[in-house]
Structure 1
Amino acid sequence: MKLSDIQKSITKLLKSNFPDYKIVVDNNNKKDIEKPTFFVQVRPVKSYNYKVYKERLVNVTITYVNATIKHEENLDISDSLEGIFNLTLDVLDRHLLISNLTFNETNDLLNCSFGLDFNDDSRTYIVIEDEDKDLMGELIFKI
């Protein structure tokens, strides 16, 4: 699983729950906002490689910005984000456990942060198409 897969899942989830809001995945200027906008950042924190798997910790930060800043609106968005990112995040065929969902409001920007701690298979698989492989022939075994 790539970090971009996690980012796509988060933006898709936000877009389905906030269809009229803008979703931005890079660090654009947060000052010239005309409509409600979510900024999504996915950052790797650690990655430990073992023999057959990789342990990864990823930090996700979602920043909500609006041209008209209202504390009550930030509270409503906090409640909505808490409902959306309740227990797990579905990425591809995986369900990643969300840990430490936190909110803070600084300079009238609402920040929602959480961690994703998961294991990835580090083995490389080679897919062999049916037409590329030979069938086993007759085996003579002498004792």
Structure 2
Amino acid sequence: MTTPENSYPVVEAMKAGGGWNELWDELLEMDPEWTELYMKMAMQPYQSGVLSPKVIQLLCIAVDASATHMYAPGTRRHIQAALDIGVTPQEILEVLKLATVVGIHSCNLGVPILAEEMEAYKQRQAAA
């Protein structure tokens, strides 16, 4: 079953904003209503205003880089977003250090990504 454009506004917004994971495409195709409701629930912290965008990005980095998750694409996306809103590399590094409580692998994953993204960020800033 293919989903019509704009019939699932949260999913479409996530796709447009770069927050969609292509691994979810089959789930969307199999059960678009449930997927839309789940994504709406998952997006609530971003939309509620209770947590600042900075805190949300730092929490997402911690979760994605943690040894229990180890999701490099999400870690990269949230580091990029954090840098873009003014989070410092030092703040990101402290979050990665905190995430090591569940395993040193968080730094093995996150620190090289932070270094790569800092270089890319510097290049974007120099080109602007």
TM-score by length of 1: 0.26
Higher helix share: 2
Higher strand share: 1
Give the number of the structure whose alpha-carbon radius of gyration is greater.
Answer: 1
Which gives a bigger RCO, structure 1 or 2 (Cα 8 Å, sep 6+)?
1
TM-score by length of 2: 0.28
